[in-house]
Chains A and B, each alone.
Chain A
Amino acid sequence: MENIYLPKLAEIKEIIQETADTKTIRLTIDGGSIDFLPGQFGEFSFIGEGESTFGFSSSPLRKEYFEFSFRSSGRATTGINSLNQGDKIAFRGPYGNYFDTSKMKGKDLVFVGGGIGMAPVKSIMEYCLDERDDYGKITILYGARSVGDLLYKGIFDEWKKYKNTEVIITVDPGGETPDWTGKVGFVPTVLEQLPLKGENSVAIVCGPPIMIKFALKSLEEKMGFDKSNIITTLENRMKCGLGKCGRCNVGSVYVCKDGPVFTAKELESLPNDF
């Protein structure tokens, strides 16, 4: 008999303060990573304060660790926030479906992330960068409310180093600082100005609902992306991650099992319950 709710303990290898309230936590189990695929998520907990759902934010190909990024917002996340390097985090997973890279191979890729939504994007993006030769042109567009809210500031340059890879970072109007050299504008607006074509391309979009809504529209209507080539993730509230607790379903779909990754086409067929 196996207790599916029993977590494993992972050790915190490193904590990266991304913004004032967001951190990336790098974990290891037995000195290495676990098997997961980009887009999947896990249930993480500081034991005693409750479990929370986070997507993995690192590339599964980087075997020495696995990562997630979180914003401190409630009881569980505040608990996790208080941990230090060397402390243990309880972890269950990986759960859910994933970004199907077989359908992305050989194509141009557009990664669009907004705010904390960049976390799951980073995972698939770095995965593709790790196997850079398998894909065509890669465009990365990442935006946040203000410069202070940008995650992963330290590694933008790393992404840029890859061949045929464009990295565009933007902040919402008003969120710029005097020394800001990136773009200023909402993600969907900046996206619209990019010379992207829908053919032979796949777009991966994650972020706040409003951003997703407009980004999908631009990609579809202005750039001619096929709906099945626009991929995003849902973040419905979930507890078990195992398709039992009854919280995450959208229509007949269990986001924890059948998701969290969906194409725009799939989303279209779902009732407006997310």
Chain B
Amino acid sequence: MEEKYFEISAENLKKFVDSIIADNFEVIAPTDKDGGTFYGKISRFEEANLDILLPKMSYKEYLLPKTETLLEYSFSGVDTEIKDGLEAVAGANEKRVIFGGRPCDAGAGPIMEKVFNWDYKDEFFNERFKNLTIVSIACEKPDNYCFCTEMQLSPESSYGSDILLKKAEGKYFAVVTSEKGLNLIEPYINLFKETAKAQVPADKDWKKLFEIERTKSFLDKNFEHNYFQDRFLSCIGCGVCTYTCPTCHCFDIQDEGNLKEGRRIRNWDSCQFGVFTLHTSGHNPRVTQGDRYRQRLMHKFKIYSEKFDKYLCVGCGRCSRNCPEDIDIKEVAKDLADMA
């Protein structure tokens, strides 16, 4: 679809959000709770915290739930019955809107989509992704940990958003990039005023700190390098970086149940865990935390990009902000670029 542009006043934006809530949309927005800001369901526009740069966790759980039932089974004597877990997912997210996320988070969706579709099609993901409507807000003041610009996005990128809101002098411009976005505002179109692209303030000239291609080229040449072992001595393998990351998507498949019935589920998993690659024989290809963090870097900046021509990172900086041991991926990526 060709992009469409609208103008909306701050007041109308509030009205718009409150209206869709009233019309039974589930609106997920950054909201203050539990001593931090997290994505969560809001019941009024005011509950959304649009000032926060990024909530602590990304909203990937709406695309890839932390636990998902792949199938259910039951036994009657020796007979086994299997029930497809996909049935329950049909139509998921149809009335769900992520509101107030940032361009980086929005950018993560299409990146994950590639993994889930490059060969076999994962309909669990697809069904959720296809239905979810994403209304993001462009960033005005990225912080120290942000590096979306280096990651082929920008604080004002509309990539992955159905609607991108840009704030300008007390009002907003809405860049609608998809039918889904259009459908969402359609019933409330009187709150919006269509406008031309030229009216929308142009993107600023965001400076890059380093070239990610150089990071990649370091990784291309250096699988064994002391940097990995030394630098990540301070990594405790907690996996927070992967769990909070909007693009990390590794999972585990497990069975759970009793002698009568149960289910097969998939759960989030992390390459930072020692048991992740542990063979049954006891052999482990990645023994040290250095090996494991290297895998993360490789996956983000090399492996994925070779397959999908994009990087598996949107530069949101969550992993850095949340790392209990203050490992900053931007700093690391820059280090690598500098060494290349």
Q: Do chains A and B touch in the complex (CB under 8 A)?
A: yes
Which residues of A come within 8 Å of B, CB atoms? 1-7, 9, 45, 47-51, 73-74, 86-88, 90, 208-209, 235-237, 239-240, 242-247, 249-252, 257, 271-274
Question: Which partner residue on chain B sits nearest A52 by CB separation?
Answer: B280
Question: Which partner residue on chain A sits nearest B283 by CB separation?
Answer: A209
Any chain A CB within 8 A of the CB of B179? no
Pick the residue among A4, A47, A240, A257 that contacts B121 (CB under 8 A): A4
Any chain A CB within 8 A of the CB of B203? no
Q: Is the CB of A252 within 8 A of B286?
A: no
Question: Which partner residue on chain A sits nearest B259 by CB separation?
Answer: A48
Tell me which residues across on chain A come within 8 A of B82, comparing CB atoms.
6-7, 9, 47, 90
Q: In the complex, given contacts A6-B82, A236-B285, A273-B295, what are 20 additional A-B residue pairs having Cβ atoms less than 8 angstroms apart? A: A1-B90, A3-B85, A45-B255, A47-B82, A47-B255, A48-B255, A48-B259, A50-B255, A88-B80, A208-B281, A237-B278, A239-B252, A242-B119, A244-B115, A244-B116, A245-B266, A246-B269, A252-B303, A273-B291, A274-B285
Question: Which partner residue on chain A sits nearest B302 by CB separation?
Answer: A252
Tell me which residues across on chain B come within 8 A of A86, comparing CB atoms.
78
Counting from the closest, the 10 A-B pairs by CB-CB distance are A246-B250, A271-B223, A3-B86, A242-B120, A5-B70, A1-B123, A252-B306, A252-B303, A50-B255, A4-B120
Question: Which partner residue on chain A sits nearest B249 by CB separation?
Answer: A246
Tell me which residues across on chain A come within 8 A of B285, comparing CB atoms.
236, 250, 273-274
Any chain A CB within 8 A of the CB of B47? no
Q: A245 and B252 in contact (CB under 8 A), knowing A237-B277, A272-B223, A273-B295? A: yes
Interface size on B, residues (CB 8 A): 55
Which residues of B come within 8 Å of A, CB atoms? 70-71, 73, 75, 78-80, 82, 84-86, 90, 115-116, 118-124, 127, 223-224, 249-255, 257, 259, 262, 264, 266, 269, 271, 276-281, 283, 285-286, 291, 295, 298-299, 302-303, 306-307
Tell me which residues across on chain B come within 8 A of A73, comparing CB atoms.
280-281
Q: Is the CB of A87 within 8 A of B78?
A: yes
Q: Is the CB of A235 within 8 A of B118?
A: no
Q: Is the CB of B249 within 8 A of A244?
A: yes
Q: Complex: how many Å from CA A245 to CA B73? A: 22
Q: Is the CB of B119 within 8 A of A272?
A: no
